[in-house]
Chains A and B, each alone.
Chain A
């Protein structure tokens, strides 16, 4: 969403519309996480009055989608691909193969056993 996106580019590496979007989502989630957790706490706390809990529920459901952690998806830092991303290297499988064969990933080599 353009209301959250930063005016200047604030990431390095491979740049893509989807990469920027994911980066924005991460930033927004980080900003709003305490608020979300507070609302979740109020909703689940049975010792609070019912009215306050209901209001908290509504407020939580009205928060922007970008404040949800489920919106975040790991993306390849070298190619922006969202599938087959190796968590250890943050690189998708084909980029991994290319870089490993070029010897750019420390310690990684072709295996045979």
Chain B
């Protein structure tokens, strides 16, 4: 996935496409006969510094590689960067994970939401979203001066932008992988928060019932101490309970007075 966001790669591709376009426009305006020679030829000469004006010599390695680049398409995964992110279809629509992205800048949060959507596609996770949640606007007003002059004040604000990405009926393991991947490639100025739900089979109730007696017996000691007991039973056991927290007599003030 890091390949997709490689700035060097993008820059190179952008440059190449730009050259191709300009070359085509030049050929059409100059002479219709040259168009037959194919626009790629002209673009090659522009790409190559030394052969900018002269007629091309027998092809050298650089040209051959260039022509290959021009004729072949980019890998599908790289092409996909320029298109809308692909999505999987949810079969049942059972929500498994909510991811909330927060940032103070639109560009950062949009970019990272797009990244998360693409990553989910390659992990075969169906998603809905990025849903733009309401912005959180915090405002503060303070006097401009450090002392008095209350009439002249200044307002400050902080707007938090949020995006919600929900994963539907995904495998818990791949959801964890997705979250770990997003944490690994966390973008600056973007915070993440996720709620993960795990679903179990209906047999879980039977399992709980089986384990209940053991848990109860282990909790019995603690539960018997809980709450207020009625009658004298509680009174009788208090001295035992208080044993170590009984306040020492010599520390109380009245004792000191009597002794003195």
By a beta-carbon cutoff of 8 Å, the part of chain A in contact with chain B is 38, 42, 47-49, 52, 55-56, 58-59, 62, 84, 86, 88, 93-94, 96-97, 100, 105-113
Main secondary structure of the interface of B (DSSP, over half): mixed
Decide: A110 near B245, CB < 8 A? Known: A47-B238, A58-B252, A93-B143: no
A-B contact pairs, 26 of them (CB 8 A): A42-B242, A47-B234, A47-B235, A48-B242, A49-B235, A49-B238, A52-B246, A55-B246, A58-B252, A58-B253, A58-B254, A59-B247, A59-B251, A86-B140, A93-B143, A94-B142, A94-B146, A96-B142, A97-B144, A97-B154, A105-B158, A107-B104, A109-B158, A110-B155, A111-B155, A112-B155
Q: Contact between B142 and A97 (Cβ–Cβ < 8 Å)?
A: yes
Give the number of residues in B that approach A within 8 Å (Cβ atoms): 31
| CA gap between A86 and B155 in the complex, in Å | 14
Contact B156 A108 (CB under 8 A): yes
* Given A96-B140, A97-B154, A106:B104 Cβ within 8 A: yes
- Is B160 part of the contact surface with A, judged by Cβ < 8 Å? yes
> A110 CA to B146 CA in the complex, in Å?
18
On whether the beta carbons of A55 and B252 are closer than 8 Å, the reply is yes
Closest A-B pairs by Cβ, 8 of them: A107-B104, A111-B157, A94-B146, A93-B142, A111-B155, A55-B247, A107-B158, A108-B158
Task: Give the dominant DSSP class at A's interface.
Answer: mixed
Q: For residue B247, which residues in chain A have a CB less than 8 angstroms away from its CB?
A: 52, 55-56, 58-59
Among B144, B156, B251, B253, the residue within 8 A (CB) of A109 is B156
Q: B-side interface residues toward A, CB under 8 Å?
A: 104-105, 138-140, 142-146, 154-160, 189, 228-229, 234-235, 238, 242, 245-247, 251-254
Which residues of A are found within 8 Å of B154, using beta-carbon distances? 97, 110
Assuming A47-B235, A100-B156, A109-B156, what are 16 further A-B pairs, CB within 8 angstroms? A38-B245, A47-B228, A47-B234, A52-B242, A59-B247, A59-B252, A62-B253, A93-B143, A96-B140, A96-B142, A96-B156, A108-B157, A108-B158, A110-B154, A111-B157, A113-B157
> Is A110's CB under 8 angstroms from B104's CB?
no
Bound state CA distance, A110 and B144, in angstroms? 12
User: Contacts A47-B235, A106-B189 given: A84-B157 contact, CB under 8 Å?
Assistant: no
Query: What residues of chain A lie closer than 8 Å to B138, measured between beta carbons?
Result: 88
Q: How far is the CA of A96 from the CA of B154 in the complex (A)?
A: 11
Distance in Å: Cβ of A91 to nearest Cβ of chain B: 11
CB distance from A106 to the nearest CB of B (A): 6
Residue from the list A49, A52, A55, A110 in contact with B156, Cβ < 8 A: A110
Distance from A3 Cβ to chain B, minimum over Cβ atoms (Å):
17
A110 to chain B, nearest CB (A): 6
Tell me the bound Cα distance from A86 to B140 in angstroms. Answer: 9
Q: In the complex, A43→B50 CA distance in Å?
A: 94
Residues of chain B contacted by A55 (CB below 8 angstroms): 246-247, 252
**Residues of B contacting A58 in the complex (Cβ-Cβ under 8 angstroms):** 247, 252-254
CA distance A48 to B241 in the complex (A): 10
Q: How far is the CB of B34 from chain A (nearest CB, A)?
A: 54
Chain B residues with Cβ below 8 Å from A52 are: 238, 242, 246-247
- Chain A residue nearest to B144 in the complex (CB): A97
Chain B residues positioned under 8 Å from A84 (CB to CB): 142
- With the chains together, A59 CA to B246 CA distance in Å? 11
Query: Which B residue's beta carbon lies closest to that of A48?
Result: B238
How far is A110 from B251 in the complex, measured between Cα atoms in Å? 58
| B235 proximity list for chain A (CB < 8 A) | 47, 49
